[in-house]
Amino acid sequence: MNEAAPQLDSIIMSGMLFYGYHGAFPEETRLGQRFMLDVTMRLPLEQAGRYDDLEQTINYADAYALIKGIVEGEPVKLLETLAERVAMELFHTYTRIHELTVRVTKLHPPFGGQLQGVSVEIHRKRA
């Protein structure tokens, strides 16, 4: 008999701003720029809520520090790579996460045009 899949809830970290040196153009990796990240982590939160137990959830201050270390760390060319690194490190660090969505926004892309930014959003499920 199959056990029912757990009910998944969400922890949403939105509008995180970091300064990084990512991009395909030399001036981006030399001068750097601001990036905004939104992360939604899907996991069961019933036990955490029922028992007021931090051990049954994810400490989002720690998750923020992990994300910050990636975005402000080693430069990459693509937003896709940055999003993938964040996703994989969150999965590796927090085994409670069943699936997640990571959106990385480059607020000032280096080309002419009126826009608020360019985003890449990925959705991953634990294998």
Q: What residues are annotated to the active site?
A: 106
Amino acid letter for position 48: A
Q: CA-CA distances (angstroms) from residue 56 to 30, 60, 124?
A: 42, 12, 21
Structure token pair of residue 88: 């994989």
- Kind and range of the H or E run holding 39: strand 33-43
The widest CA-to-CA distance across the chain, in whole angstroms, is: 59
